[in-house]
Structure 1
Amino acid sequence: MLLALGVVLLGGLVHGTFGVGFPLVSTPLLALMTDVKTAILLTLAANILVNGYSMLRGGDWAASLGRFWPIAVWMPLGAALGTLWLVAVDPNPFRLLLAATMVFYLTSHYFRDLDWSWIPRHPQASGAGFGIGAGVLGGTVNVGGPALMIYFLEMKVAPLVLVQAINLAFFVSKITQAATFAALGYLGLELLLWSLPLALVSLGGLRAGMALRERVPADRFRGWLRGLLWLMAGMLVVQFFLELSGG
């Protein structure tokens, strides 16, 4: 329990600093002590609390929640499908697929003919695709944030809008995932007793990370996001091969 509290505290700190990242940190570290499905179940309450608090922080919701709410409609569909997939098959290969997508995006400037302008040209269609894809990835490996980060970085939204919109989408999708797990009989009193203290500690880390983020200029923040995407891709590849080898 002490190790788990330390993990969610670190996850909250990362999420508060970057606006995303709690499941990326908490899921693989907790999975070292349990397994991926148990790690996701233990952090469901913390994810909902962290996403909800981050979504409501900062005000000016019309610019973010009012504009990008359709993504939060598509995310639950993907989350429900991903959760059903999680309990039926091995979700490990999705880590490698997600990492490959992120690296492709981050290195796209090396390809002259590559054009990402279709995302802002077709915001609704691309938002639906990224929303469902992120929901499936969130439901299977609990790491769907990078997919939405790619979308919002190409939409060139302000940092506050990016953070609020992503957290709205994941707040709704995590509630959907919790309802799906409950319908499948995976939620119980014992899990609740474990997850509530983890949720409260994650909130403390989140607030500390938010205090750090407010001192960072917007351009530097976007640079940090790209760096975080590289870090996420590397961690996902390592997690894939560790799981593949039984490590």
Structure 2
Amino acid sequence: MMPVDGVALSLLVLWFACFGAIVLGGLVKGTLGVGLPLVVLPLLSLLLPAPRAMGLLVMPVLLSNLWQAIEGKRLNEGLRRFGGLLVCQFVATLAAIHLTRNLSVQGFNVLLAIVVMVAVGMMAVGATFRVNPSQERWMGPLVGGVAGVMAGVSTLTGPILIAYLLALKLHKDEFIRSISIIYLLGSVPMYGTMMWYGRFGWTEVALSCLALIPMFVGLRMGRLLRHRLSETVFRRLLLGLLTALSVLLITK
């Protein structure tokens, strides 16, 4: 038997680690409707350069959100309700990516650290905050603008969007449908603009197609688990996810 080369072994371990991280992200996404980039991106960033980690999530993020948005139906209702949020998120995402395109690595890290601190604060507020229907008209666009800035810097739009939708007190199926629509329509311009400015390339996008396999494995497992959860347990798991992510983001 030929000895295993050290480099080949390292690559094999790396592939298994990436596979496991994406299955875990898919499991959380299938169960709670959120968490794929929030869980996987910090984990992959420990193994790969941050831009490559972002690129590897392109296809899993797009297709998982498309699936859950279609599965939830009533797309027109979601588009009407969150139209202002989506428009502001779109504009802010393009502006943030454009303004940070020439940042040095050090400057990008500083900006990312600021985003992380803001995200943690929003998680803490979102756990107890409640948005009334009368406040939704102006708060939705505001949340969309902040989410767009966070997307342009790090792709991590989840913290503020999760906190906002939790504050709306949505039913679990409505929550998953709404967050999937927002993620899907926010991800297309975000990833397209990042590719335009060279944050990552077609190599990462092609590799992200391979990431669909572990993503769908986790997604199906999570979907089966979700139907066994009550509304109370569902919200507790979401709050637990926010708490765990806040710790992960701070330590990252």
Q: TM-score range by the shorter chain?
A: 0.7 to 0.9
1:178 aligns with 2:166: no
Q: Number of residue pairs matched?
A: 231
Which residue of 222, 225, 228 corresponds with 1:212? 225
Alignment RMSD (CA, Å): 2.1
Distance 1:202 1:86 in 2: 30
TM-score under structure 2 length normalisation: 0.82
Letter of the 2:233 counterpart: R
Q: CA deviation at 1:63?
A: 4.6
TM-aligned CA distance change 1:157 to 1:183, over 3 Å: same
Q: CA deviation at 1:69?
A: 3.5
Q: For residues 154-181 of structure 1, give each alpha carbon's deviation from its aligned partner in whole angstroms, at most 9, with x where no partner exists.
A: 2222111111111111111111012102
User: Which structure's CA Rg is the greater one?
Assistant: 2
Q: For residues 78-116 of structure 1, give each alpha carbon's deviation from its aligned partner in whole angstroms, at most 9, with x where no partner exists.
A: 32234345542322221122112322443x5xxxxxxx5
Moved beyond 6 Å, runs of 4+: none
Which residue of 17, 34, 46 corresponds with 1:32? 46
Q: For residues 93-151 of structure 1, give each alpha carbon's deviation from its aligned partner in whole angstroms, at most 9, with x where no partner exists.
A: 21122112322443x5xxxxxxx556532212100011121222233223221211222
- Identical residues among aligned pairs (%): 26
Query: Does structure 2 conserve the Cα–Cα contact (< 8 Å) formed by 1:105 and 1:150?
Result: yes
Q: Runs of 5+ in structure 2 lacking a partner?
A: 1-14
Query: Does structure 2 conserve the Cα–Cα contact (< 8 Å) formed by 1:64 and 1:161?
Result: no
Q: CA deviation at 1:30?
A: 0.8
1:12 aligns with 2:26: yes
Distance 2:217 2:185 in 1: 22
TM-aligned CA distance change 1:61 to 1:179, over 3 Å: closer
1:23 aligns with 2:37: yes
Distance 1:66 1:105 in 2: 23
1:68 aligns with 2:82: yes
Distance 1:232 1:80 in 2: 26
Q: Secondary structure at the match of 1:143?
A: coil
Distance 1:206 1:139 in 2: 26
Equivalent residue, structure 2, for 1:78: 92
